[in-house]
Amino acid sequence: MSALLDGDLSGASRMAGVSLTEYFVTDGVRWLWQFRLDQMAADPGRARWMVRQVVVGDKGLVVGHAGFHGPSDEVGMVEIGYSVAPDFRRQGYARSALIELLRRAAAETSVTTVRATISPDNVASLATISGFGFVEVGEQWDEEDGRELVFAAER
Task: Give the separation between CA 153 and CA 113, rounded to whole angstroms.
Answer: 6
Average pLDDT over residues 59-87: 91
pTM as predicted:
0.87
pLDDT of residue 30: 86
How far apart CA 63 and CA 42 sit, in angstroms, is 29
125 Cβ neighbours under 8 A, 6+ residues apart: 94, 116, 118, 119
CA–CA gap between residue 142 and residue 85 (Å, rounded): 22
Angle at 98 between CA 131 and CA 13, to 5 degrees: 160
Average pLDDT in the 97-107 region?
A: 95
pLDDT at 144 over 80: no
Residues 62, 22: contact at Cβ < 8 Å? no
Once rounded to an integer, what is the mean pLDDT over residues 95-100? 94
Residue 22 DSSP symbol? G
Q: Whole-angstrom Cα distance, residue 47 to residue 37?
A: 9
- Find the mean pLDDT for residues 84-99: 93
What is the DSSP code (8-state) at residue 57?
A: T
Q: What are 17-68's pLDDT values in tens digits?
A: 888 889 989 888 888 888 889 988 998 888 888 888 888 877 778 899 999 9
Nearest to 112 by CA among 155, 61, 82: 155
The HSE-up count of residue 93 (CA atoms within 13 Å, CB side) is 21
| Residue 141: strand, helix, or coil | strand
pLDDT score at 48: 84
Measured in whole angstroms, the distance separating CA 61 from the mean position of its chain's CA atoms is 17
